[in-house]
Chains A and B, each alone.
Chain A
């Protein structure tokens, strides 16, 4: 069982918006930055969001991150079939002294 809790799956139609949640506690999300990763089937993960809300230059602004208290969210707008992937949140945990990941959320674009 992961320290960060994500829904196992979400789905939405092409062009729509989806929100993926990531719930933790003060020792991780509450006091530290969050990052998000996209893992397309059969490939290595790719960084989508770092420092909670920043995007690498190559990531389109359809992807955005935010945090409130001990929960974080990844929003994806204008969904495309190519967005079908597993999405993971991550954060440093000050108590565990480790980077921890959520269990992952599988996105289906219907």
Chain B
């Protein structure tokens, strides 16, 4: 059974950097795309990015490209989402997901990491 464990809630100020993580288990980490979906307060879902740990191939939502970075550490089965300069509008819950390609759906979800930028 796939299990996604995300890092805890974070509070940052605008302009600060941040790195949140998602450690996975229950499957071969290098053989499935892993990504991030965000949910702003009281709003719907937005796909952000995905990465294939096997070869580090990435795909970003064009509306967010340049604002975030996705990466992995294969040695500890962990994916990361990184910001170099946070904005108040980055306040959201960030869900780690297993992203099935080419059908483009998310079949496993982490519990979410709440990020507050204020």
Chain A residues close to B by CB (< 8 Å): 2, 32-33, 35, 37, 44-47, 50-51, 56, 88, 90-92, 96-104
Which residues of B line the A interface, CB within 8 A? 37, 44-47, 61-63, 95, 100, 103-112
Looking at chain B's contact residues, is the secondary structure mostly helix, strand, loop, or mixed?
A: strand
Check if B110 sits within 8 Å of A103, measured CB to CB. Answer: no
Chain A residue nearest in CB terms to B46: A101
Q: Is A100 within 8 A of B106, CB to CB?
A: no
Neighbouring A residues of B61 by C-beta, 8 Å: 98-99
CB–CB B44/A103 < 8 A: yes
Complex CA gap A2/B46 in Å reads: 10
A90/B105 in contact, CB under 8 A = yes
State which of B95, B106, B110 has its C-beta within 8 Å of the C-beta of A47.
Answer: B106
In the complex, are the beta carbons of A50 and B105 less than 8 A apart?
Answer: yes
Query: Which single member of B46, B62, B104 contacts A92 (CB below 8 Å)?
Result: B104
CB pair B112–A88 under 8 Å, yes or no, is: no
A35 lies within 8 A of B105 (CB) = yes
Given A98-B63, A99-B47, A100-B47, CB of A44 within 8 Å of CB of B104: no
Please indicate the chain A residues that have their CB under 8 angstroms from the CB of B100 in the complex: 50
Chain A residues, Cβ within 8 Å of B103: 33, 35, 50-51
Q: In the complex the two chains form, is A32's CB within 8 Å of B44's CB?
A: no
Residues of A with C-beta under 8 A to B95: 44-45
Please, which residues of chain B bring their CB within 8 A of the CB of A92? 104
Are A33 and B62 in touch, CB under 8 angstroms? Answer: no
18 additional A-B pairs beyond A44-B111, A45-B95, A98-B63, beta carbons within 8 Å, are: A33-B104, A33-B105, A44-B109, A44-B110, A44-B112, A45-B37, A45-B109, A47-B105, A47-B107, A50-B100, A90-B47, A90-B106, A98-B47, A99-B47, A101-B44, A101-B45, A102-B44, A103-B44
